[in-house]
Structure 1
């Protein structure tokens, strides 16, 4: 076989591989010692995510968003779903896609301003989860349950307020009774003190009257004695010679 003709008849290699072969040959030619044979090995292949085209810097190909990955389509740079369905949350788009569909989600997001799209996606995911949990009522069933709970809480609040008003009224009545009882006790204590003071004054008056009666009795006894002496003198018999002295 004519290897020279075969080599000349082969297709020319791309410039990138030709450049690598030149670098490889130059590096191998400069490495004269046998100990550096390992350094002449070909460079490792580039990762699949990086592509080198001529002198252009390598560009990193990012992973597609969860929506494009599930839909099995290429995720463009201006993908509407990429900011709201990251690759780490595939279940989020799966739930919304099962209920609303990808085309409806995209149309809804395109009709809204960017400031409201995040809230719209959150509400769609919530409604989709509610619809999957309750296929009949969906989100309306959850709203009805919350309304029922709110009404029950309102009834409990009204009962608690009524009990509070009743307790306040009872407390006011008890306080009024206590005030009346305290006032009655004060009046009773005042009456008892007055009654205790009146007997002491009357006893002092009686003591003073007793001393006066004693003096009156002494005077009366003196007068009785004087009258008795006078009656004795009148009734006494005097001798004749003594009687003549008086005549």
Structure 2
């Protein structure tokens, strides 16, 4: 009777400890990737699409799936080494977005448009550089003319000063007609115009 009671207590304690351990264990919920969720299939542990199409961004796989298809995406990724798969997925998504915007040319159309813009900008740049060179040439020519004009004016200025000094000296000389009052005296005028005959 006592042995049965001990066994019952041991069993109860064992079941209690197991139930407490089960309740304390965290519940692991594995969310399928966006690709498997859209394709409605079970996402396996080593899903080739899971690292590149997370469940938080379903539009990424939807866009690539509309253009390339799921089987082609899986095939592309399986043929590539793992370090290059992320870049390949980015390229596929970018190409898919371009194809949805421009079904005929896709990325090639965007590249051609950008190339034409680059060519147009290069032409504008060459034109602006030519205008700059032309303006620099005109500026150098004007500076040369200005220097020549300044050199000529500096050469003619001493001659003008010398001529003015000569004119001033002539007016201030004692033999000047303006300063010599006796030259215009009436008496002297009479002597000068005195007739030579009587």
TM-score of the superposed pair, with normalisation by structure 1: 0.58
Residue 102 (structure 1) aligned with residue 79 (structure 2): no
Cα pair distance change 1:190/1:115, threshold 3 Å: farther
Match of 1:184 in 2: 152
Instruction: Give the SS at the match of 2:174.
Output: helix
The structure with the larger Rg is 1
Match of 1:234 in 2: none
Once the two structures are TM-superposed, the CA of residue 184 in structure 1 deviates from its matched residue by 1.9
Provide the rounded CA distance (Å) in 2 between the counterparts of 1:108 and 1:79.
14
Once the two structures are TM-superposed, the CA of residue 123 in structure 1 deviates from its matched residue by 1.0
Query: How many equivalent residue pairs?
Result: 164
Once the two structures are TM-superposed, the CA of residue 202 in structure 1 deviates from its matched residue by 5.5
Residue 146 (structure 1) aligned with residue 114 (structure 2): yes
The CA RMSD over aligned residues, in Å, is: 3.1
Residue 163 (structure 1) aligned with residue 131 (structure 2): yes
Provide the rounded CA distance (Å) in 2 between the counterparts of 1:56 and 1:71.
35
Match of 1:68 in 2: 36
Once the two structures are TM-superposed, the CA of residue 100 in structure 1 deviates from its matched residue by 1.0
Provide the rounded CA distance (Å) in 2 between the counterparts of 1:187 and 1:201.
22
Match of 2:174 in 1: 207
TM-score of the superposed pair, with normalisation by structure 2: 0.71
Residue 173 (structure 1) aligned with residue 145 (structure 2): no
| Matching of residues 25-174 of structure 1 within 5 Å | 57-174=25-142
Query: Cα deviation per residue 1:10-49 (whole Å; 9 max; x = unaligned)?
Result: xxxxxxxx97xx76xxxxxxxxxxxxxxxxxxxxxxxxxx
Instruction: Give the SS at the match of 1:207.
Output: coil
Provide the rounded CA distance (Å) in 1 between the counterparts of 2:24 and 2:80.
38
Once the two structures are TM-superposed, the CA of residue 208 in structure 1 deviates from its matched residue by 8.3
Larger relative contact order (Cα-Cα within 8 Å, sequence gap ≥ 6): 2
Instruction: Give the SS at the match of 1:148.
Output: helix
Query: Cα deviation per residue 1:55-94 (whole Å; 9 max; x = unaligned)?
Result: 9944412211111111111112222211211111111101
Once the two structures are TM-superposed, the CA of residue 196 in structure 1 deviates from its matched residue by 2.6
Query: Cα deviation per residue 1:191-213 (whole Å; 9 max; x = unaligned)?
Result: 21222333455567x4389xxxx
Query: Cα deviation per residue 1:165-206 (whole Å; 9 max; x = unaligned)?
Result: 1111111111111111211221222221222333455567x4
Unaligned 5+ runs, structure 1? 1-17, 24-51, 210-247
Provide the rounded CA distance (Å) in 2 between the counterparts of 1:103 and 1:90.
17
Cα pair distance change 1:107/1:149, threshold 3 Å: same
Cα pair distance change 1:179/1:160, threshold 3 Å: same
